[in-house]
Structure 1
């Protein structure tokens, strides 16, 4: 009996010790990376007005100090990357650390005057995160901390707030179902662009969102990541004049959808409705220090609106909730209207210059979106948008992003530059660009200034485990000088879209309506880079990052070859050369199927993963089918017929993914090529109703695999062999 008591005491003591070891949120994060990792580091939170992290080595442990847990986590990641060759990325958030960590040779301290490192665009939360569960969110919050993110937009569960507010205003549940958007489309509803599309949402959905948001907020609070919640921007349902007797303006249409109405600040009920909103939000999720509000986003009409009064009313109601709160607003196109923000007190607003790398609004006179006075003295953040629609494709401006950052730092507007942000529309792509921008805030001193070529070499070594392979370095230099070397004057919306995903025609320049990508690199550079990666695979450790990159780069190479073959198809058809036409179309279709097979080797590139995420959060079969319809619709037709065709939204969020390539894009191209071939016999070319054809796929529920279907390196070799055959 005595021995049993002793054993129980020891067990209790060890359990308590283990709990104490992971009480520090960074230690808990380390445990999620690799069990036992927290015992190999000594992390210390130091009170300081200065944003800093410090990495050293003491008493056989790596020591990381900082003035915030986020800065400590960023310092930990710097050690992992630079000393161990462990880069934690979206495709791999786990690692095996050595039993004894090698020492850090010299204590390193970095400081920054960039107060805010901001993360997310409304679109990201729908294009990439619409169906995430807590497990996936937990990994993302770890990713944020490791990359120094300390301010993050979070719209999860805002639909619960609005449902409750609308019920209090007298709307029925059936009416609310036509107002609140569905899971894959909530970003555009909350940006005041549309209502209802993708709904209705079940009670279980609202319960899930509330519970998930509370977990997210709790973890953000533990890590010290400031949450930015959607505030009250004046949005009311489009029928608020008739239904509630409110004095509203009509912001018009957005891509074929009716926008919500804007409650005029002169209406005596503005304060009442704002108070209802914030009271309900606070009851569910507490107060925030930052609130995001974007009235008139993306072309909303301001006719009949006193913009100064509108800005003052929005600010006033936010300050009632928290006098210390900051209004976060996206600078996009004409918003925020200068008349709306000019008279607001400086220090109460943070403007996200959403597209700083291509169309800055901070006051750069060379910009096509030039604002002479910048943001009228308000604090602002230099942001990189990079990705539109969550499309798949290599793309970036390695040199230009760096140059523009330092240009802004040295401008007359630098005194109000308080942040750096990642404001992409979709994540889990082009990790090199996001790693670069996350390092910018910590490279403000002249001695630490980033030179892209040196930085890229360090990036590659860290990403692949400190393995220096000349073929890999050569491949990345080719990419940096071609597809990642997009010229400064190119302001297109993201990557050169894959012709596989284009709607079939003899003039398939782009996939989405607003792409307008011009050819700025030689396709052969990407093809040679892919060949070098495949050749290097023999000598490279097959870590998760290398597997992801070899597939992604090879995918891009196959897409480049397909575009060249497509040009041959068009030329053959116009030359009435049926033999060459048939030969080229068969090559194109074989490449498309080969691309599908290649991408099936990595879950990140499989439509099955996206659909599984959607179906997995359902509580019954009907919900699962509805969520799957949301998932399939978003990446194909996007909206109803009017929005897709006249509004231009079709395939804006297209994905070059395994499964959708085989079952959606391949049949379209084959049908089109067969019809073209028949015209050689004098048959008329049919008028295809592509919307009807595409919409049918969104209604299906055929299963797709969500786990890798083969070896990434082997499939990449096969794809390169097929690509060479297509020369």
Structure 2
């Protein structure tokens, strides 16, 4: 439904109006109250909204600002929000009157996504998921999304034009579940080949996503060439044109930047991309992600920069290189201040957009004086692999955002560069809100509004008290933890017997994971469960996820302590205390049953979504292998490279895969102290067999009845929530 005032056609019909009204219809339903959209001339990204006589009027400088204006009205006036857990359409039968409210963006750009996100969250999404995600982006002010869907078809086109066969190109690209790491140059010929049907369908999907993003005023970032090429195109070895490098045990081939083929391939890929997907002149290229340059000469990175820019600008004279700062912190032993400065100085300021990827924990802007005069974006990362243990440092993160805004060379934007979405909504909502507002204190200035929007106006007051408890506990990770998600505990880890040699060190690690007052977390859990019981139906929305998250936070620490008690008992007595072992394994069963009540925490859905893209049995084999592999062994069983990196607490993984491994561990626990080498070798063989079995078969079908999240939460609270320690 639309409304127009008696104004000029240009004011009445901004060129972006149809796209924003389509967004409004998707989130409010086709019978939503009237909305009028007008241009708002201003030097900076801004909006103004007012509502009178049942009509909402939004004036905005652009489509993204209009979407944020609409969402701000819904959040501030109607107390509803479109977050990852929202049920749509939102319940807004009428627009309450409100006087004009104006807002100007704190920063011009909002960056969104990480290459890894399309491996850990969205590799198997279709249009329905991407349409909703793109709407979420617009409503939260995203201007600059990384959009990699369809790039595999670009690579196939480019490499076949360069002389490879279709089979060679698809073999080089590898499995669909691992495309992000191929695009970053970390691997090739892995877990594939890429199904031909996948490249075709995802080219069309990518076009559709980009069309929607562009219609909503976004400027997508598309992948570019990293120097990583098929060996068939440029062989390695003596007299060859490439050199090899290794990432997590996987070997890839990179061209020498002095070779003319470097710029030729870069230009060809950029041309194919423009022909197939268009361009907005932003190209994500990370030639050194977790791999130091193959030549230690300090001038070598500058040569990479020159060859990269030559290939880009030959095909697109307006090209801007978008690059992550991650290597500068991840491999700081190589990336000295001098090396980083020399590399960045080799790239003209107007040709670079730099992403300070892990700025909430390891900011690089403070190290390099706000990157001189380079354009940069402050980004939050938080989770690695999409680990589901809910923890963050909300106030510390906010303080770091505010410090960046006061920098000499202020960030051009704020970004979310998480390795996976759909977890820890409070953290990501807080960060992205700072693009359009300035918050000083989380508890005072932001948390009450977050709770009201999440649960609705007039919610049970105990919900705010519960979140205050979470803010003081799991959302107050101390600075001593470099990666908060690394503290995810033993439940999802590959078992071993090494802790028997030093139970004291294990005790210190386990104690460090409870840096807060344990009873405070239990009281927060009690309040959430009580509110769910007092308000029937509330747990059908976001509260249901929150119940699962807090139960997860509690039970993972319980598992840590029960594991510690087992290890200490065996080290002390030489025998396995059977009652303690049963209590330890029971945690897996209880957590699995609770997670099974939530579809977003059910492993089977991941596999089913992957298999839905199969055009035949061979496609299905590749897709299921990729889905299973990346969440468990990541590379190959037994190599020890990235085992359980994602460590997802999902029903099926917890109760079947993780539990079965710990059962194997327990089988010879009593003998581990007397024959550590022999028992460890037998455990490794048994785990290897279990991992191979999982890759071949996945997990059994879950029971048809998954139960009720509130009832299961109450049962777990009664069982685990009455102790003064985990």
TM-score (norm 2): 0.88
Q: How does 1:571-610 map to 2 (within 5 A)?
A: 571-576=568-573, 578=575, 581-610=577-606
- Structure 2 match to 1:484: 475
For the 8 Å contact 2:174–2:189, the answer to whether it is kept is yes
Please state how far the C-alpha of 1:325 moved relative to its aligned partner: 2.9
8 Å contact kept, 2:64–2:217: yes
Counterparts of 1:342-491 in structure 2 under 5 Å?
Answer: 342-362=345-365, 364=366, 370-371=367-368, 373-414=369-410, 417-444=411-438, 449=440, 451-491=442-482
Q: Which residue of 2 aligns with 1:669?
A: 662
Q: 1:699 aligns with which of 696, 701, 719?
A: 696
| Alignment counterpart, residue 104 of structure 2, candidates 111, 118, 136 | 111
Partner deviation per Cα, 1:224-267 (whole Å, 9 max, x = no partner): 11110012233222454438999745352111000231x23322
2:196 to 200, 203, 213: 203
> Any conservation in 2 of the 1:290–1:325 contact (CA below 8 Å)?
yes
Change (3 A) 1:108 1:332: same
Instruction: Give the whole-Å Cα distance in 1 for the aligned partners of 2:451 and 2:566.
Output: 38
List aligned pairs for 1:314-333, cutoff 5 A: 314-333=308-327
Match of 1:299 among 291, 294, 305: 291
Q: State the distance in 1 between where 2:46 and 2:148 align.
A: 29
Task: Determine the C-alpha separation between the residues in 2 that align with 1:242 and 1:578.
Answer: 57
Corresponding residue SS for 1:420 = strand
1:41 to 23, 35, 42: 35
**Pairing partner for 1:140 from 129, 133, 138:** 133
Checking the alignment, whether the CA contact within 8 Å between 2:267 and 2:312 is kept in structure 1 is no
CA distance in 2, matches of 1:313, 1:22: 38
Partner of 1:286: 278
Shift of residue 384, structure 1, vs aligned partner: 0.4
Deviates more, 1:386-395 or 1:473-482: 473-482
Instruction: Determine the structure 2 residue equivalent to 1:268.
Output: 260
In 2, Cα distance between equivalents of 1:480 and 1:421: 22
Unaligned stretches of 5+ residues in structure 2:
1-13, 329-334
Deviations 1:291-327 (A, max 9, x none): 1111122123240663323212322332333333321
State whether residues 46 and 66 of structure 1, in contact with CA within 8 Å, keep that contact through their aligned partners in structure 2.
yes
**In the alignment, is residue 171 of structure 1 matched against residue 164 of structure 2?**
yes
Residue 12 (structure 1) aligns with: none
Judged with a 3 Å threshold, the aligned counterparts in structure 2 of structure 1 residues 493 and 339 are, in CA distance, closer, same or farther, namely farther
My pick for the range that moved more, 497-506 or 135-144, is 497-506
Match of 1:75 in 2: 69
Alignment partner, residue 660 of structure 1: 653
CA-based RMSD of the aligned residues comes to: 3.0
Aligned with 2:530 (options 512, 528, 535) = 535
Question: Contact 1:30 / 1:37 at 8 angstroms: preserved in 2?
Answer: no
Whole-angstrom CA distance in 2 between matches of 1:328 and 1:515:
40
- Is the 1:388–1:493 Cα contact (8 Å) retained in structure 2? no
Q: Distance in 2 between matches of 1:175 and 1:379?
A: 39
Secondary structure of the residue aligned to 1:494 is helix
Residue in structure 1 matched with residue 208 of structure 2 by the alignment: 215
Correspondent of 2:83 among 70, 89, 94: 89
- Tell me whether 39-48 or 604-613 shows the greater mean CA deviation: 39-48
Paired residue for 2:248?
Answer: 255
State how far apart, in whole Å, the 2-side matches of 1:356 and 1:679 are: 43
| Distance (Å, rounded) in 1 between the aligned partners of 2:440 and 2:59 | 22
The CA deviation at 1:22 is: 11
Q: What secondary structure sits across from 2:522 in the alignment?
A: helix
Higher deviation after alignment, 88-97 or 155-164: 88-97
CA shift at 1:477, angstroms? 1.1
Please tell me whether the aligned partners of residues 397 and 486 of structure 1 are also in contact (alpha carbons under 8 angstroms): yes
Q: Distance in 2 between matches of 1:255 and 1:494?
A: 20
Whole-Å Cα distance in 2 between the matches of residues 450 and 251 of structure 1? 49
2:235·2:242 contact (CA, 8 Å) conserved in 1?
A: no
